Every structure is written in structure tokens, then in C-alpha cells.
């Protein structure tokens, strides 16, 4: 996908109607969140990035801890976007704010982008009973699936591999198929879990790893038949390895 692709348009996101966006599913969530943040700040929107679990962060990017949240308006005015979390966990991770502080973030910005799930960077997952951690005030849920899972064994591609295999009624050595992705992305026991009446989108990442786009198109069509808006592409910027 061309790096100029507009993900807000691709996923048909209207932030005026859905300003609190939770991202769940497989690897690529953080990259998608930061991509959306760049597009939104280019539109002069003030954006806060946060998590209800744990998320990776870039120490060179604007960041604010819980104890400094009173400075959030000034940081948004200066940078246009800020990652807000309870505190840093080492050099590359941040942890979730208390629930009562999460809604306050939305009041301070135009758009709140929330990483609400974990996957250990694996492309596929079926959530455990306590997952995902979608805030009650979220308006939109985007689930991410990495298309590099296709044709590979569940045990190599799925976070919660036993649960994923049980859900699909397959062995952990069975290869992942487009039909599997459709089932996981659309089921209330899969990535549609706890979405309820919120707006829902599916992003199929890493389509650049497929020799042909037929499988991606098949998944898109299958989700369309289930009244789910989806898109495929790659979050890898041009020039990245």
C-alpha cells in the first residue's frame, strides 16, 4: 500500500461521531494507532493515545504519566498528540491508567485512540474470557488481523493458540485459512467480542506478504456478507524492511 493511503477513509471512520476508538486483535495495533494519530493531527485534531492493558511506545514521542496529567492540555497544544499512561514499564512499554482517569482523557482531546488488547505481536488471536479490555465509553472498535497468518499453522501464528484452535475446531498444526479469519473477525467469541452495538471495523494488515490478493479479497467479501466493513493493506511504510 502506498504510504499516502488515508486510513481514516479506508476504514470509513468519522471521528466526529466516534471520537473514542479502541483497537483490538493481532499484531499491528500500535502501528495502526500511530498511523491514525498522524492523519488526525494533520487535520488539526488533538489526539491522545492510551491503553487499557500495556503497549509499546517510542521514547522520542510526547508522553505523559498519570502524576502529570494536569499538564495534558499544554502538551496537546504544543504537540497535537500525546501518549498518556500510568507509567513507563522499562524503556519500551507503558501501562494502563486507572479506569476513572480514562474518560477524563477524552474530555481533554478531540480523539482518543485506545490499545485495548494484547497479542505479543502475533498476527491472529481469539480472546480469553477477560479480553479485550474495551472501555465502556468507546464508540468504535477496530480489530486487526495480520494476513501473514494465512497458510501457516495456528501454533505459529496465534496468540492464545490453544483457544484459537479450540474455537476453530482444528488442531494447532492446521494451517490458517481465509474462512478461519472471517470466522474469528466476525464472531462474538472472536474479535467481535464485547463490541455490542458499537461501530465495528476490521483491518487486514500485511497484505504485502501475500503472493496474490485473492485471499484478502475473499475475506473482505466474507465480512461484507456479515455486514462488516473491512479493508486490507500494509502498515509498513515505504522504505521499511
Residue-wise pLDDT for 96-132, tens only, equals 999 889 999 999 999 999 999 988 899 999 999 999 9
Is 238 inside any structural domain? no
Is 220 inside any structural domain? yes
pLDDT of residue 4: 61
Percent of the chain with pLDDT over 90: 88
Is 144 inside any structural domain? yes
Is 61 inside any structural domain? yes
Is 237 inside any structural domain? no
Is 210 inside any structural domain? yes
pLDDT at 238 exceeding the cut of 70: no
Q: Domain span at residue 73?
A: 7-232
Residue 179: CB partners within 8 Å, gap ≥ 6?
Answer: 222
Is 2 inside any structural domain? no
Residue 136: CB partners within 8 Å, gap ≥ 6?
Answer: none
What is the band of 240 on the pLDDT scale with cuts at 50, 70, 90?
A: very low
pLDDT of residue 57: 85
Number of folded domains in the chain? 1
pLDDT at 3 exceeding the cut of 60: no
What is the band of 1 on the pLDDT scale with cuts at 50, 70, 90?
A: very low
What is the average pLDDT value for the chain, to the nearest integer? Answer: 94
**CATH number reported for the structural domain that contains residue 152 in this entry:** 3.40.50
pLDDT in tens, 12-49: 999 999 999 999 999 899 999 999 999 999 999 999 99
Residue 185 or 93, more confident:
185
What is the band of 236 on the pLDDT scale with cuts at 50, 70, 90?
A: confident
* Mean pLDDT value of segment 46-66: 94
Is 115 inside any structural domain? yes
Amino acid at each position: 500500500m502506498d504510504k499516502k493511503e488515508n486510513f481514516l477513509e479506508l476504514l470509513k471512520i468519522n471521528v466526529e461521531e466516534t471520537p473514542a476508538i479502541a483497537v483490538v486483535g493481532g499484531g499491528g495495533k500500535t502501528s495502526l494507532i500511530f498511523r491514525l494519530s498522524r492523519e488526525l493531527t494533520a487535520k488539526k485534531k488533538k489526539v491522545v493515545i492510551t491503553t487499557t492493558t500495556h503497549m509499546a511506545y517510542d521514547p522520542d514521542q510526547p508522553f505523559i504519566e498519570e502524576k502529570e496529567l494536569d499538564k495534558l492540555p499544554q502538551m496537546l497544544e504544543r504537540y497535537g498528540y500525546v501518549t498518556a499512561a500510568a507509567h513507563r514499564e522499562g524503556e519500551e512499554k507503558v501501562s494502563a491508567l486507572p479506569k476513572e482517569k480514562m474518560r477524563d482523557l477524552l474530555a481533554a482531546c478531540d480523539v482518543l485512540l485506545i490499545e485495548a488488547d494484547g497479542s505479543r505481536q502475533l498476527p491472529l488471536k481469539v480472546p480469553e474470557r477477560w479480553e479485550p479490555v474495551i472501555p465502556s465509553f468507546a464508540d468504535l472498535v477496530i480489530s486487526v488481523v495480520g494476513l501473514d497468518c494465512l497458510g501457516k499453522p495456528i501454533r505459529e501464528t496465534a496468540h492464545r493458540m490453544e483457544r484459537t484452535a479450540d474455537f476453530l475446531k482444528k488442531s494447532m498444526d492446521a494451517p490458517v485459512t481465509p474462512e478461519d479469519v472471517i470466522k474469528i473477525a466476525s464472531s462474538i467469541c472472536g474479535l467481535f467480542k464485547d463490541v455490542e452495538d458499537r461501530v465495528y471495523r476490521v483491518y487486514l494488515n500485511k497484505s504485502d506478504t501475500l503472493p496474490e490478493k485473492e485471499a484478502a479479497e475473499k475475506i473482505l467479501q466474507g465480512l461484507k456478507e456479515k455486514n462488516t466493513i473491512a479493508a486490507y493493506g500494509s502498515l509498513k511504510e515505504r522504505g521499511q524492511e
